[in-house]
Amino acid sequence: MKLWIAWLPLALAACGGGSEPVPTGSTGLVTPPPVSPGGDTVAPPVPPGAAGMTLVWSDEFDTDGLPDARKWVHDTERNRTGWYNNELQYYAANRLENARVENGRLLITARQERLSSAPDFGGQNYTSARLITRGLASWTYGYYEVRAKLPCGLGTWPAIWMLGTGGRWPDDGEIDIMEQKGTSVADKREVLGTLHTRAYNWSGGTLGVARGAATSLPNACTSFNNYQMTWDADRIAIGVNGANYFEFRNPRNGDSAQWPFSAPQFMILNLAIGGDLGGAVDNAALPAVMEVEYVRVYQR
């Protein structure tokens, strides 16, 4: 059974509307005990990696239509000037063709089309969607699980990731829970987990390149898989289906350039087209879809 959850804004909690306090280390929305449509309290089974934790935020994608505006914002900031990493897409807002909830799943869809009538159109030949929780929910530490199926087409670059709320990259850190390259068929049979900081980032930080690893996942684009991240004051571990394949430990030297991960981060779900990791686009494979069954955040 999927969760049916009523969400309360943080403002209600702060004003004493009878809701629970904001969990330590989280901001944004407070989750009351999950309640089924029949009135029974229900909750998904706690994954082993979240043992001893409580579900503090989730989207189960139970209501068809546009993504829940109480949980997600459409990020369109770079449409006119072009997105980073030589990406080719225009990120549309509030457009069912690019982001919709249907039959218990979020469908982020990339299409070959030009939205030339849009006021922020930047000349792109593709559309897609980028959903973020910035300004609505962010967290420090916890266990994060996203169940998703990725697109198979070459040129697609799906990602599940987080950015620091301070808005300074790479100073505030970036956590890529899952991203998948699109430059070859082999790319579609593995996924990557990566961290970026001022000291370590893709362009070569003060101490070197970004820290991360890849793992084989032959069914990444044919089946749903659980993408997971464990984050506490000592380490960040990234895994899939209950097995970690990358770990980064806090050096405990007080250098925020190496460990900026003691402050809140917000969640991002997006499907980019082309670019440095997407590669050449196979237009015959479009439209391409990243399907997300749920996003869950657990904390102590």
81-96 pLDDT, tens digit each: 999 999 999 999 999 9
Q: What is the helix (H) or strand (E) element at residue 277, kind and residue range? A: helix 275-278
From the list 155, 146, 131, the residue with the least C-alpha distance to 270 is 131
pLDDT in tens, 150-193: 999 999 999 999 999 999 999 999 999 999 999 999 999 999 99
Inside any domain, residue 283: yes
Statement: residue 14 has pLDDT above 60: no
Structure-token pair, residue 286:
């479009």
Is residue 179 flagged as an active site residue? Answer: yes
Inside any domain, residue 40: no
Inside any domain, residue 28: no
Predicted TM-score (pTM) of this structure: 0.88
Any idea which residue has 């050096």 for tokens? 251
Inside any domain, residue 33: no
Average pLDDT value for residue range 247-263:
98
pLDDT in tens, 110-122: 999 999 999 999 9
Inside any domain, residue 174: yes
Statement: residue 200 has pLDDT above 60: yes
Q: What is the pLDDT of residue 43?
A: 80
List strand residue ranges (DSSP E) for the chain, in order. 26-27, 54-59, 73-74, 89-91, 99-102, 105-112, 126-128, 130-132, 138-139, 142-149, 156-164, 174-179, 190-196, 211-216, 225-231, 235-240, 243-249, 265-273, 288-299
Any idea which residue has 């189960």 for tokens? 60
Catalytic residue (one of 60, 87, 145, 179): 179
Average pLDDT across the chain, whole number: 89
Q: What is the pLDDT of residue 23?
A: 33
Inside any domain, residue 35: no
Inside any domain, residue 123: yes
Count of residues in the chain: 300
Q: What is the pLDDT of residue 33?
A: 44
Inside any domain, residue 268: yes
CB distance 89 to 83 below 8 Å: yes
Statement: residue 18 has pLDDT above 60: no
CB distance 192 to 180 below 8 Å: yes
Average pLDDT value for residue range 91-105:
98
Domain count, the chain: 1
Q: What is the pLDDT of residue 42?
A: 73
Is residue 174 flagged as an active site residue? Answer: yes
CATH code where residue 84 lies:
2.60.120.200
C-alpha angle with apex 296: 177 to 126, nearest 5 degrees? Answer: 55
Catalytic residue (one of 87, 145, 174, 291): 174
pLDDT in tens, 20-73: 233 334 444 444 444 444 444 478 999 999 999 999 999 999 999 999 999 999
Q: What is the pLDDT of residue 5?
A: 29
* Torsion over CA: 189, 161, 277, 113 (sign): positive
Average pLDDT value for residue range 126-154:
98
Provide the residue range defining the domain that includes 241.
63-299
Statement: residue 4 has pLDDT above 70: no
Question: Which of 53-65 are b and which e, b meaning 16 or more Cβ less than 10 Å from the residue's Cβ?
Answer: bbbbbbbbbbeee
